[in-house]
Amino acid sequence: MQLFVGLGNPGAKYENNRHNIGFMALDRIADEHGFGPWRSKFQGIVSEGDLGDDKVILLKPMTFMNLSGQSVGEALRFYKLTPANVTVFHDELDLAPGKLRCKTGGGHAGHNGLRSIHQHIGETYGRVRLGIGHPGHKDRVAHYVLQDFAKSEADWLDDLLRGIAKGAPWLALGKPDRFQNAVAQAITPPAPKPARPESMKTERPPKPAEEAPDETRSPLQKLVDRFR
């Protein structure tokens, strides 16, 4: 069994914030793979389903970002899982918009949701880092992450979420590289092979036109030429 955790803040006010991209990722997985209805549990909401042959619990903490670890810790103890069975989807300032990277363990880099999870289950869980870009200065970060995604970002955001849903079974199997490949293909589909133009056929240069016979010769000259 795997526990996939999406980070965000509850309520319509925050629904489309950059900080809520973790919630969005889990919603897309649930929709695309026919997971069960969301229900309240573990100070959050959960949805259960299968990814390939693996049972997966999706958890969205409703504690607000700074207390996410309370919800994750409860779920972990209830299902008797270890941090190795947990994957957290979260926004990442240090990745360009639309980029995605997987990692296991490491610090929280100032992310308040990860900081809280560290406090409750340690740091040896998996993460899916979802790039949202950086506003350019640390003083603007708090405002930036609590802003809605701009309309101009809709295309890459949809591509990213579609790729996450497509590749989720690989993540459940413990194959993050295959998962990342599936996401990359959704964001940058392979370019179609160009059709071979007919002009590539080998063309031979036209034969020079035969010269017209010189009719300026006299009858005597023509007779002499016949016996040469």
**Has 137 been annotated as catalytic?**
no
Catalytic-role residue among 19, 33, 90, 111: 19
8 Å CB contact between 106 and 119 = no
Q: How far apart are CA 197 and CA 125, in angstroms?
A: 53
Per-residue burial over 147-174, b if 16 or more Cβ lie within 10 Å, else e, is eebeeebeebbebbbbbbbbbbbbbbee
Strand partners, 88: 5, 127
- SS3 label, residue 109: coil
CA-wise closest residue to 160 among 132, 134, 141, 192: 132
β partners of residue 3: 57, 86
Residue 14 is classified by DSSP as: G
Place of tokens 């889990």: 26
Query: What is d(CA 188, CA 156) in angstroms, rounded to the nearest whole number?
Result: 10
Euclidean distance between the first and final Cα of the chain, in Å?
Answer: 102
Catalytic residue list: 19
